[in-house]
């Protein structure tokens, strides 16, 4: 079975797939089969290597990619073999973590998740509360600035300290009010799902360790598209055993508008100087 799983990979990819322990970075261009490498890695772990899928966490960037990964694994291993595998987007996984553990941050488990329309309605209220003209300060522009800050793991106070212009001061005011209104409504926006999970793990190491002991092996697709908060999340989860396998293309980033940082690929090699690179 091992041979069948490896046949479609080149020599460097085969070595990467078979290296179970320690950090691995697979670099490849578009259309070169990065996701196939990741999927075959999981299949190799569950099949020939005998790793319990319960202890494997795979992160994708879209729900479609997560579904396709499960389908490919069923084709490679047989239906149901990977059923205990945890696979999903950063946002869906963080929502799952927070439903269980957000109480450690003084929040309620039944929080609402505000979609884009909810966020825009709330931002309009923020501008009204702050007596700001929507024509001068468009809600979408203010919200985009707040979203970029969250993707960089910058809270309202730090944003205010870093600000240099009056516009930055306006964004700081709106950011503080926006977060207060979210909290008053027992709600999180999409960015908060990631930010609050990182805060949870940083402030409550016993919670982080529980997830580290559950997920002994972690894999991430399209690593070039991660932003800072996603980078921090993976780094925290992998900090105990360092079994992190990522695939990416250092020449391409689809999500730059969402704060994706291509430098995360280079940071990977700095964080894990012993990483195997394929």
Residue 158 C-beta-side C-alpha neighbours within 13 Å: 7
Binding region for ATP: 28-35
Helix 190-203 to helix 228-238 angle (10° resolution) is 40
How would you classify the pairing of strands 187-189 and 217-220?
unpaired
Count of CA atoms in the C-beta half-sphere (13 A) of 105: 25
Contacts of 192 (CB under 8 A, 6+ apart): 150, 182
Rounded Cα gap, residues 165 and 96, in angstroms: 38
Provide the total of helices (H) and of strands (E) in the chain, helices listed first. Answer: 13, 8
Local structure of 247: helix, strand or coil: strand
Q: What is the rounded CA–CA span in Å between residue 71 and residue 256?
A: 29
- Which residues make up each annotated binding site? 28-35
Query: Residue 230: which H helix or E strand, with range?
Result: helix 228-238
């Amino acid at each position: 079975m091992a041979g069948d799983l490896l046949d479609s990979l080149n020599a460097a990819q085969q070595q990467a797939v078979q290296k179970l322990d320690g950090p691995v970075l697979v670099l490849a261009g578009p259309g070169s089969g990065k996701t196939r490498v990741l999927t075959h890695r999981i299949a190799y772990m569950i099949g020939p290597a005998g790793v319990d899928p319960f202890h494997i966490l795979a992160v994708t960037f879209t729900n479609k990619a997560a579904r396709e990964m499960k389908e490919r694994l069923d084709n490679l291993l047989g239906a149901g073999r990977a059923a205990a595998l945890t696979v999903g987007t950063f946002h869906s996984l963080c929502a799952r973590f927070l439903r269980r553990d957000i109480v450690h941050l003084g929040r309620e488990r039944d929080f609402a998740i505000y979609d884009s329309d909810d966020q825009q309605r709330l931002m309009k209220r923020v501008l009204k509360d702050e007596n700001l003209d929507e024509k001068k300060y468009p809600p979408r522009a203010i919200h985009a600035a707040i979203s970029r800050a969250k993707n960089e793991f910058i809270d309202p106070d730090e944003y205010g300290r870093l600000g240099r212009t009056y516009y930055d001061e306006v964004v700081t005011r709106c950011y503080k009010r926006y977060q207060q209104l979210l909290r008053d409504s027992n709600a999180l926006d999409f960015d908060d799902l990631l930010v609050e999970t990182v805060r949870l793990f940083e402030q409550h190491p016993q919670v982080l360790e529980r997830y580290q002991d559950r997920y002994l092996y972690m894999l991430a697709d399209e690593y070039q598209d991660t932003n800072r908060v996603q980078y921090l999340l993976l780094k925290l989860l992998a900090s105990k055993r360092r079994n992190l396998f990522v695939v990416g293309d250092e020449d391409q980033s689809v999500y730059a508008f969402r704060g994706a940082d291509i430098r995360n690929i280079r940071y990977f090699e700095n964080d894990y100087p012993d990483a195997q690179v394929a």
